[in-house]
Amino acid sequence: MINPYFFCELCKERHELNDSVNCAYSKNQVDWTNFMSFEKCPACQSSHFYIQKDFNKILGCGIIILGIIFVPITYGLSLAIVALIDWLIYYQVPDSIVCYKCKGEFFGIESIPNKILIFDHHIAEIYEEPS
């Protein structure tokens, strides 16, 4: 079990979340203490977050390809096996929560609120810098 921390993209620094947080961009300790509710980002005040899996996609694809190669020998059973392996790896990997706006990332969060979903383009567009 790791202690929750926030990797702040604004400070380019790791902020421990079990202590008073020394963030150069947000001094409001109340926000930092209440980060668990994920109502707003303590660093940039944005209210949109997404879940990020630290899942190695190349590894995942490799396993699937192996499964496909063995289909003729195993009569398709290999596909079921690799799907299971894939699923097991996927759920072993801890999630982190990322803020759409400042890209700050929360690690070691034990219970992720249901309202936080995977990355969504439409939300990301709101925060994109106009080019």
Q: Which residues bind Zn ion (CB under 5 A)?
A: 8, 10-11, 23, 41, 43-44, 46, 99, 101-102, 104
List b or e across 81-120, with b for residues whose CB sees 16 or more CB atoms inside 10 angstroms: ebeeebeeeeeeeebbbbbbbbebbbbebeeeeeebeeee
CB of 29 to Zn ion, least distance (A): 13
Closest to Zn ion by CB, 8 vs 17, is 8
* Pair 118, 50: CB distance under 8 Å: yes
CB of 96 to Zn ion, least distance (A): 13
CA distances from 112 to 33, 76, 78, 106 (A): 16, 36, 33, 11
Cβ partners under 8 Å of residue 50, min gap 6: 97, 98, 100, 116, 117, 118, 119, 120, 123
CB of 34 to Zn ion, least distance (A): 14
CB of 74 to Zn ion, least distance (A): 47
